[in-house]
Amino acid sequence: MKKIVYTLVAIIIVQNIGMAQQKEKKYSKEEITIKVEALLKKMTIEEKVGQMNQYNGFWDVTGPVPEEGNAEKKYEHLRKGWVGSMLTVRGAKEVRAVQKIVTEESRLGIPLIIGFDVIHGYKTLSPIPLAEAASWDLEAIKKSAEVAAAEASASGINWTFGPMVDIARDARWGRVMEGAGEDPFLGSRVAEARVKGFQGENLAAVNTIAACAKHFAAYGFAESGKEYNTADIGTSTLHNIVLPPFKAAVDAGVKTLMNSFNELNGVPVTGSSYLQRDILKGKWGFKGFVISDWASINELIYWGHAKDKREAAKIASIAGSDMDMEGHVYIQELAQLVKDGVVKESILDDAVRRILTVKYELGLFDNPYKYCDEKLEKETIGNPKHHEAVLDVAKKSIVLLKNDTQLLPLKKEGQKIALIGALAADKNSPLGSWRIASDDHTAISVLEGLQAYKGNSLVYKKGADVSVGKTAFTQEVAINETDKSGFEEAKLAAKDADVVIMVLGEHGFQSGEGRSRTNLQLPGVQQELLEEVYKVNPNIVLVLNNGRPLAISWANEHIPTILEAWQLGTQTGNAVAQVIYGDYNPSGKLPMSFPRNVGQVPIYYNHKSTGRNNKEAHVFWSHYIDVEKTPLYPFGHGLSYTTFEYSDLKLDKSLYSIGEDVHVSLKIKNTGNVKGKEVVQLYIRDLFGSVTRPVKELKGFELTELEPGETKTIQFVLNKETLGFYNNSEEYIVEPGDFKVFVGGSSYTKLEADFTLKE
Ligand code: NOJ
């Protein structure tokens, strides 16, 4: 009977293909609950476990392929209704094919939810997420997620494994490129923007997808920046630094969370009831579902936490991991565990309810093929409007690190420009890591971007390769450590130029998952190339490409102008050229501190004071004897082609009762000659705490644009949500005492005011 119903549905849908914006039905919570409960009653234990089972598709892999991962078996399970979700199946046609199997051949015909790593775009790519966070422009970030959702959903995807909201302080960790940097306040705002961008107002709309806040939790605190490593952190760091962006995502309505590969304080988090049941589903009341990371349930065995798959399935399911990503553990073990009375069926019911609810919300039960419209797919993917949006956020993501001699913006005429560096002509690397659905070599290169400006003469010389060999998604990138044969012609071109633009940095595949590094300098022979070119012409604009903060002390000391251009996605070259020529005045600010050398990491602005912070104490103070203890460029740093002056920092009072709002105002003036945008940042310091507080904490920011000579008044409100913290009993408290407020254009700002909170 079921099969007949679905066949009819399928026929009706086929007739409707092309009516892209169908009226989307949005069910109330109560309606969905009734439907879910009715369906749950019909399900066997095996079918319930099936909903908790996610298989990878048949082409792309984003993790180690398990022995059990053969296609034949997966098809068999799809037909039996033993698969609730698939990942990395893409394309309207391909998704239709798998949906057809489950909906027409399985007993209950429950549609799949199709997941995919839509990390910074689908086909049309935005900047890598770390770069985007440097824009501090929440509207642009949200828009970028909307574009990603539109393209992915048109290609059959229902659910992205993003945003990654892991706070990270260690640039050695390759996945810093996927997050929003080191700060929980900025990280939380970016998390909300991304969740709202992906999910929109109505999950059932054809251009929205479910989001997934990952990786829950503390993955970004992997010891020594080494991938998949142990995280060992205390209560205060967990609750005040790591968890806030997850909470923000939950409050923004995120439908799913993914747990992580790391252990936290001795418990692999996939098996952590504390994180998943007590905090997430308990304290925070999260109603969506949790997916494991790729085979992370199996990894409970390798961590030495579960003795075999059966125990791993038991621990993970009881702990609240609702879906098993390509681990094959739930499907093999869970039904028997329930039959043996080891795992209660109510655990399955809870997980399945959560999963089915999201499927209903997506509208998959109304129409399992609603995201499989090939015409819409064609119209949507690569739409010019999407290019506009990713160019917009790409420009905004660029950070001007220094501009000592005002080499930038470049004059548009009469200049001889030498452009040097293999990355300048690279159309692949700027796409960055994590872009499975996009086509290789489709970025606008910096060379192409600059060529669009015809007024200057432009000579391009590679100088040296950055990478050698293949750079496919799953392959390591091999770095050129020896070949300097292009140095001479690069130097000749530089010698003859008015201005040299050097595009140097990491290859796009040197960051991302599984790409931790212990060296944060320019890879390969690029540092040497920079120094050699500098000898013949120091008039250099260094354009950095990188997926993480780099240690570029030499460049900072010698090179007059440095532009942080990350990996900016499809529109990289146009964005960089517009900034270089001043058609966009840079406004980005660093979301992560840049170290002076790798020995300083982890380095972050919101550190504690230490008991020995006083230079007067001879050698006996908290510092290094071989390098300054400060970062090279602090969190929040970023210059403009104009200058801003901050003044008149005022509070409405100096003494407040706890619970009262603190009103802060300040003036900002554009003191330069061109229009510019500035991210006005507000930090606090709670001077004395029962749990010590950081020397500065970001608690507000506002992006403002000013004409030359214009002054604006900016206002912020601090309240109990921003003035308190979690103590070591995991209680959120606001303590009476003295506070400082700082405002300015970076975390180094010195403009401050004081106030006191009383009981
Ligand atoms: C492993 C990664 O850690 C996770 O972020 C990603 O979503 C999955 N693989 C699926 O590709």
294 lines ligand 1 (CB under 6 A): yes
Task: State the pLDDT at residue 425.
Answer: 98
- Cα 62 to averaged position of ligand 1 atoms, centre (Å): 6
CB distance 350 to 52 below 8 Å: no
Distance CA 223, CA 548 (A): 17
Task: State the pLDDT at residue 64.
Answer: 72
Task: State the pLDDT at residue 61.
Answer: 67
Q: Which ligand 1 atom is at minimum distance from the Cα of 261?
A: 3
Task: State the pLDDT at residue 225.
Answer: 97
Higher pLDDT, 226 or 476: 226
CB distance 215 to 229 below 8 Å: no
- Flag whether pLDDT at 450 surpasses 50: yes
pLDDT, one tens digit per residue, over 25-46 is 788 999 999 999 999 999 999 9
Task: State the pLDDT at residue 8.
Answer: 37
Name the residue at shortest CA distance from atom 7 of ligand 1: 161
Higher pLDDT, 337 or 472: 337
- Cα 735 to averaged position of ligand 1 atoms, centre (Å): 40
- Flag whether pLDDT at 22 surpasses 70: no
Q: Please provide the DSSP assignment of 465-490 as one string.
A: -SEES---TTSPPEE-SS--TTHHHH
- For 322, the 3-state DSSP assignment is coil
* Mean pLDDT within 87-100: 95
pLDDT, one tens digit per residue, over 237-293 is 999 999 999 999 999 999 999 999 999 999 999 999 999 999 999 999 999 999 999
Name the residue at shortest CA distance from atom 1 of ligand 1: 294
The answer to which of 62-76, 380-394, 436-450, 485-499 has the lowest mean pLDDT is 62-76
Give start and end residues of each alpha helix (H) in 43-169.
Answer: 45-51, 71-80, 92-105, 129-133, 138-154
- For 512, the 3-state DSSP assignment is coil
Task: State the pLDDT at residue 470.
Answer: 61
CB distance 625 to 612 below 8 Å: no
Distance CA 401, CA 638 (A): 6
DSSP state of 524: T
- For 603, the 3-state DSSP assignment is coil
pLDDT, one tens digit per residue, over 640-687 is 999 999 999 999 999 999 999 999 999 999 999 999 999 999 999 999
216 lines ligand 1 (CB under 6 A): no
Task: State the pLDDT at residue 475.
Answer: 55
- Flag whether pLDDT at 3 surpasses 50: no
Higher pLDDT, 415 or 5: 415
- Cα 393 to averaged position of ligand 1 atoms, centre (Å): 25
Higher pLDDT, 646 or 62: 646
Distance CA 190, CA 186 (A): 6
Task: State the pLDDT at residue 25.
Answer: 77
CA separation, residue 689 to residues 153, 597, 684, 738 (Å): 48, 32, 13, 10
Tokens found for residue 323: 């879906």
The secondary structure of 635-683, three-state, reads CCCCECCCCEEEEEEEECCCEEECCCCEEEEEEEEECCCCCEEEEEEEE
* Mean pLDDT within 368-388: 97
Name the residue at shortest CA distance from atom 11 of ligand 1: 62
- Cα 17 to averaged position of ligand 1 atoms, centre (Å): 32
Q: Give the other-Cβ count within 10 Å of 21's Cβ.
A: 9
Stated pTM of the model: 0.96
- Cα 125 to averaged position of ligand 1 atoms, centre (Å): 18
214 lines ligand 1 (CB under 6 A): yes
- Flag whether pLDDT at 67 surpasses 90: no
Task: State the pLDDT at residue 555.
Answer: 98
Task: State the pLDDT at residue 615.
Answer: 80
- Cα 293 to averaged position of ligand 1 atoms, centre (Å): 6
pLDDT, one tens digit per residue, over 312-322 is 999 999 999 99
- Flag whether pLDDT at 130 surpasses 90: yes
Kindly report the average pLDDT of the chain as a whole number. Answer: 94
- Flag whether pLDDT at 344 surpasses 80: yes
The answer to which of 76-90, 129-143, 606-620, 724-738 has the lowest mean pLDDT is 606-620
Q: Using CA atoms of 44, 47, 48, 51 in order, give the dihedral in degrees to the nearest 10.
A: -170
The residue to mutate among 212, 260, 293, 326, having the most atoms of ligand 1 within 8 angstroms of its beta carbon, is 293
Task: State the pLDDT at residue 375.
Answer: 97
Distance CA 141, CA 314 (A): 39
Task: State the pLDDT at residue 347.
Answer: 98
What percentage of the chain has pLDDT greater than the value 70?
95
Of 293, 322, 324, 465, which residue is the catalytic one? 293
178 lines ligand 1 (CB under 6 A): no
Catalytic: 440? no
- Flag whether pLDDT at 230 surpasses 80: yes
- Cα 258 to averaged position of ligand 1 atoms, centre (Å): 9
pLDDT, one tens digit per residue, over 707-733 is 999 999 999 999 999 999 999 999 999
Q: Which ligand 1 atom is at minimum distance from the Cα of 219?
A: 3
Closest C-alpha to 420, from 371, 459, 452, 365: 459
The residue to mutate among 325, 433, 474, having the most atoms of ligand 1 within 8 angstroms of its beta carbon, is 325
Closest C-alpha to 135, from 759, 737, 703: 703
634 lines ligand 1 (CB under 6 A): no
Task: State the pLDDT at residue 24.
Answer: 74
- Flag whether pLDDT at 20 surpasses 60: no
434 lines ligand 1 (CB under 6 A): no
Tokens found for residue 462: 């590679």
What percentage of the chain has pLDDT greater than the value 90?
92
Name the residue at shortest CA distance from atom 3 of ligand 1: 293
pLDDT, one tens digit per residue, over 581-632 is 999 999 999 999 999 999 999 999 999 999 998 887 689 999 999 999 999 9
